[in-house]
Amino acid sequence: MKNPGGRPTDYKEEYCELIVEFFDQPLYILKKKEIASGGRKVVIEEEVPNSMPTFERFARKLGVEHDTLRNWCKKHEKFFGAYKICKDIQKDFLIEHGTKGNYNAAFTKFLAVNVTDLRDKVTHEIGDVNLEFESKD
């Protein structure tokens, strides 16, 4: 097949599995913490929220820009499917940590509305009619 011109793609089929693996991280991780107890130091493990994986961080790992990932979604159906799975994982992080108060509430709402399919709905009753509006605060 003749090259249509332009720079050759950096895309590899293996990125479909790699992106899901990168995003499929535990919601919580164990962190060691040193505390004083009875005049001596004791090391305990506590469960702390894990950082939410991002497409920017994954792109950086591959040495490409985030826009490149979006372009791959348009050109490679299998990668687009993997990308959607990762969006669901991000949504799960936001729901879990937002509802538990692990993330700042205002920023969680901002991310949920702008990064996921979650939307803020406002309902107005006018007589017997209910009107619903989506808000992107």
For residue 38, is pLDDT > 60? yes
Beta bridge pairs of residue 48: 29
For residue 81, is pLDDT > 80? yes
Q: Please, are residues 46 and 37 in contact by the beta-carbon 8 Å criterion?
A: no
Of 32-36, 76-80, 82-86, the least confident: 32-36
pLDDT confidence of residue 80 = 98
Angle between helices 77-99 and 105-115 (to 10 degrees): 160
pLDDT confidence of residue 6 = 61
For residue 134, is pLDDT > 70? no
Question: Burial of 21 by CB count in 10 Å (0-12 exposed, 13-18 middle, 19+ buried)?
Answer: exposed
Could you give all domains of the chain from N- to C-terminal order, each with its CATH number? Answer: 15-135 (1.10.132)
For residue 3, is pLDDT > 80? no
pLDDT confidence of residue 9 = 79
For residue 1, is pLDDT > 50? no
The string of DSSP letters for 17-63 reads: HHHHHHH---SEEEEEEEEEETTEEEEEEEEEEPPPP-HHHHHHHHT
Tokens for 84, please give them: 């959607």
Look up the pTM and report it: 0.76
